[in-house]
Chain A
Amino acid sequence: MDERSPVLEAKGVSHWFGDNRVLHDINLKVARGQIVSLVGPSGCGKSTFLRAVVGTHLPNAGDIVVYSGESHATGRRVQGPGRDRGIVYQHYSLFPFLTAQQNVAFGLMLDETSIASRLFMFPKWRRLRKAHLEEAAAFLERVGLGEAINLYPSAMSGGMRQRVAIAQALIMKPEIVLLDEPFGALDEATREDLQKMLLTLYDENCQTLEKKEKPPHTIFIVTHELNEAIYVGDRVIGLSQFWGWEEAGHKAGPGATITYDRKAPVYHPGEERDFEEFAHQRHEIRRIVFDPEAKHAPAKHRTFWEDKPVRQSSRGPA
């Protein structure tokens, strides 16, 4: 994998609400095939940053660029929500008026047809609809929800809903899938199941890399759970308002910036977790990102691109 070929780039992103400075000069590159976990203390602006990436709340300064197209060299500045970024929210992750199958097929319908074509080319639309529903059913089968295709979200468990929501985003093959605390409201067992689902996606990335193809899934996950961030991500980013801004010449806190960016151990589905390794990185993140007394220079712990792999599984990316 060419780790330097970006899918998403944040360039000098800053955001504020009146006098409340939230984000300060965020610079970030996410490469194709990565699963990036974003962590940070409450109120540090994780969701604000994610909304900026989704395009629903644009930053006051700086740009977010999504690279798409065959060569992935064409960058497009984010100016609103778009088809190239999929999103899975913690709540209202599905359309309540559609069944699981219809939810997954919804994006295909929106992407490949218009209201006019559905109205005026009805026979063609019917054929297309059948194909969409079949594709959605096959996708749901893949994520282990073949039995639930006719269920409405209100009849599904939280875990099933999030699984369908991830399928709904993935079927569209977006450049990047954004997950906003997707497992926050789930019990431990369900959460682990879904974490393994993400590891399966990472595994698919590794398999395509072995075939010298482009990895299909790039995922950016915002979570408040450190173990989860380290377990599912191959890269952990810490966003924090606690950094040495006084030394940087600011008279007041300019907002949160990236103070931690390091590799995370790569796991594959079914592999046992090394909790000792977790403890070490968790402690490091707590000290650098979550400690209100932290006065680090932000760049000091942003060493992802220079780091050697923390722990490389036999099939991990080079």
Chain B
Amino acid sequence: MIRKPIPQYVTVLLGMASVMVMLGGYTYLSHRQHQVNPDDKTIPSWSQLKEGVGKSLKESKRTGERWLIVDSKATAIRLFAGLFLGVFGAVALGMLMGCFTPLEAFFYPPMALLAKIPPTAMLAVFFVLFGVEQKMYIAMIAFGVLPTLAQSVYLSVKEVPEELPFKAYTLGASHMEVIWNVLFRFVFPKLIDAVRLQIGPAMVYLIAAEWMVGDEGFGYRIRLQTRIQNMSVVYPYLALLAAFGFSMDFALRKVQGLVCPWYAKGGK
């Protein structure tokens, strides 16, 4: 039956099975490839992958640094700083657009247009405006997520039933209290959902920029290692990226559940 509920343990088992199938499939492919070419590096075996991870964690003779640590730190700082600024700007802009019609009329057209331009296509503009230093990456993520996120916040505010602010006014709320205590609280869980959806695009922008002009970070390292077909380093980096994104998403879901239990219980 469509959407028929299943027990929790079945959900867990099916989730584990899907991961096992993926890992099994990879093991099979790698084994086949190594039968054809024992020196293959494109689909590394598990032992090759282990070596790759060791290499990433080994202290560099030249710089004394460990790739994985340096790259993780660089990418994480850029991603968090960019997302923080982008989310902060988007919330402010989206709330203002949703609450005040003159601001809506003024900001909506540029937001709608900017949201349609992929930030990766605007890389050259970011280079010109911000150089190739740290702030370029941060600006790229911030400006990349801002238009879409601001639109999400704006649309969520527009969705608030008019009865709620009206009622708040009859209870003695000021305009600021209606914005903060009613509208923002109503849209907050939806904002978290929107941020969760923006983690992926933000990573795409960052990896693309690091790939092209970076001297550290995940994108930079993946580019270098791909050029020498060193996939035993590339795949662990990709797995780490996935874990990174998943952890952020998981943390945001937990925050949503803790801060907005009403939303998790279906009170949308």
Query: Does B169 lie within 8 Å of A81, measured CB to CB?
Result: yes
> Could you say which of B182, B260, B266, B267 has the most chain A C-beta atoms within 10 Å of its C-beta?
B267
Of B164, B170, B176, B265, which one neighbours A174 at CB under 8 angstroms?
B170
Secondary structure type dominating chain B contacts: helix
Once A91-B161, A97-B185 are accepted as A-B contacts, the answer to whether A81 and B265 lie under 8 Å apart by CB is: no
Give the CA-CA distance A86 to B261 in the complex, in Å: 28
Query: Does B163 lie within 8 Å of A89, measured CB to CB?
Result: yes
Closest Cβ of chain B: how far from A103's Cβ, in Å?
10
Interface string of B119-144 (1 = CB under 8 A from A): 00000000000000000000000000
Contacts of B161 in A (CB 8 A): 91-92
Secondary structure type dominating chain A contacts: loop
At the interface, yes or no: A248 with Cβ under 8 Å from chain B? no
Contacts of A86 in B (CB 8 A): 170-171
Contacts of B261 in A (CB 8 A): 152
Once A89-B163, A92-B161 are accepted as A-B contacts, the answer to whether A153 and B267 lie under 8 Å apart by CB is: yes
At the interface, yes or no: A107 with Cβ under 8 Å from chain B? yes
Give the CA-CA distance A277 to B242 in the complex, in Å: 73
Binding-face segment, A6-14, A109-117, A124-132, A266-274: A109-117
Once A83-B172, A110-B171, A154-B262 are accepted as A-B contacts, the answer to whether A97 and B186 lie under 8 Å apart by CB is: yes
At the interface, yes or no: B174 with Cβ under 8 Å from chain A? yes
Interface string of A68-95 (1 = CB under 8 A from B): 0000000000001111011101011101
Give the CA-CA distance A155 to B267 in the complex, in Å: 8
> Could you say which of A110, A111, A154, A169 has the most chain B C-beta atoms within 10 Å of its C-beta?
A110
Give the CA-CA distance A95 to B182 in the complex, in Å: 8
Query: Does B171 lie within 8 Å of A83, measured CB to CB?
Result: yes
Task: A82-B169, A96-B267 are known; give 11 further A-B pairs, CB within 8 A.
Answer: A55-B169, A87-B166, A91-B161, A92-B161, A95-B168, A97-B262, A97-B263, A106-B168, A110-B181, A153-B267, A154-B265
4 pairs of A and B residues whose beta carbons are closest in the complex: A154-B267, A107-B171, A81-B169, A111-B172
Interfacial residues of chain B within 168-214, with CB under 8 A of chain A in the complex:
168-174, 176-177, 180-182, 185-186
- Nearest residue in A to B185 (C-beta to C-beta)? A97
Of A80, A91, A152, A168, which one neighbours B171 at CB under 8 angstroms?
A168
At the interface, yes or no: A303 with Cβ under 8 Å from chain B? no
Query: Does B174 lie within 8 Å of A96, measured CB to CB?
Result: no
Interface string of B10-50 (1 = CB under 8 A from A): 00000000000000000000000000000000000000000
Which A residues have a C-beta under 8 Å from some C-beta of B?
A: 54-56, 80-83, 85-87, 89, 91-93, 95-98, 106-107, 110-111, 114-115, 152-155, 168-169, 172, 174
- Nearest residue in B to A112 (C-beta to C-beta)? B172
- Nearest residue in A to B265 (C-beta to C-beta)? A154
Contacts of B176 in A (CB 8 A): 115
Closest Cβ of chain A: how far from B266's Cβ, in Å?
5
At the interface, yes or no: B254 with Cβ under 8 Å from chain A? no
Closest Cβ of chain B: how far from A175's Cβ, in Å?
11
Give the CA-CA distance A55 to B182 in the complex, in Å: 19
- Nearest residue in A to B178 (C-beta to C-beta)? A110
Contacts of A95 in B (CB 8 A): 164, 167-168, 182, 185-186
At the interface, yes or no: B268 with Cβ under 8 Å from chain A? yes
Of B168, B174, B181, B265, which one neighbours A155 at CB under 8 angstroms?
B265
Contacts of A82 in B (CB 8 A): 169-170
Give the CA-CA distance A267 to B167 in the complex, in Å: 30
Closest Cβ of chain A: how far from B149's Cβ, in Å?
21
Subset of 7 A-B contacts with CB under 8 Å: A54-B166, A56-B162, A95-B167, A96-B267, A96-B268, A110-B168, A174-B170
Closest Cβ of chain A: how far from B1's Cβ, in Å?
25
Interface string of B54-80 (1 = CB under 8 A from A): 000000000000000000000000000
Closest Cβ of chain A: how far from B127's Cβ, in Å?
42
Contacts of B265 in A (CB 8 A): 152, 154-155
Of A85, A110, A172, which one neighbours B177 at CB under 8 angstroms?
A110
Closest Cβ of chain A: how far from B77's Cβ, in Å?
30
Contacts of A155 in B (CB 8 A): 265, 267
- Nearest residue in A to B188 (C-beta to C-beta)? A97
Query: Does B172 lie within 8 Å of A107, measured CB to CB?
Result: yes
Query: Does B268 lie within 8 Å of A115, measured CB to CB?
Result: no
Closest Cβ of chain B: how far from A235's Cβ, in Å?
23
Give the CA-CA distance A95 to B265 in the complex, in Å: 14
Of B163, B170, B173, which one neighbours A91 at CB under 8 angstroms?
B163
Closest Cβ of chain B: how far from A259's Cβ, in Å?
28
Once A97-B262, A152-B262, A152-B267 are accepted as A-B contacts, the answer to whether A89 and B170 lie under 8 Å apart by CB is: no
Contacts of B169 in A (CB 8 A): 55, 80-82
Closest Cβ of chain A: how far from B172's Cβ, in Å?
4
Give the CA-CA distance A75 to B79 in the complex, in Å: 58
- Nearest residue in B to A116 (C-beta to C-beta)? B176
